[in-house]
Copies of this chain bind each other. A is one copy, B any other.
Amino acid sequence: MKRAITSDAAAHERVIAIGALAARTGVKVETIRYYEQVGLLPAPERSEGNQRRYGRRHLERLAFIRHARDLGFPVETLRGLLALADRPDMPCDEAHRIAARQLADVRRKIAHLRALEAELDRIAQSCLGGAPVRDCAVIEALAKEQRADSVPLGKRDAGSAC
């Protein structure tokens, strides 16, 4: 009787545990639980012993999530995308806008990184190594007064977010 909770839903559909879902999608077990926690992936049925049991729908949704994350869509944006995917009759202008915004964001980051690349390249080229630190071009470049065009620290995300 207790087992019926699962088997009712699973009678005509293969159900898998979280580890198998992780293996099939390439998303870590912990991350799957995290997605459930933040509401990206609906909570699945549980086994008699309280273990998660996933079906084909979960597999598809998680693959969708992973692909979108791979493309750099932030989780918040993903929420909107998933909501759209669930309403097949709505026009897709919004989806198009979201993708275009993401593309613009990626391009902005590329531009920023290319500027960094140029400066780092210049610095690295002018230091051949071997000189004492006091004359090192790398250290000197960093110690120099800031350029006027540099972005204020608060608005910048060069290190971790390009």
Contacts and interface: CB of A to CB of B under 8 A. Distances in A.
A153 interface: yes
A108 to B, nearest CB: 10
A99 B77 CA distance: 35
Contacts of A3: none
A142 B64 contact: yes
Contacts of A143: 60, 63-64, 67, 85
A116 B105 CA distance: 11
Contact of A71 (B98, B120, B152): B120
B142 A67 contact: yes
Given A85-B142, A92-B136, 8 more contacts: A26-B146, A26-B152, A64-B143, A81-B138, A91-B131, A92-B131, A96-B128, A110-B114
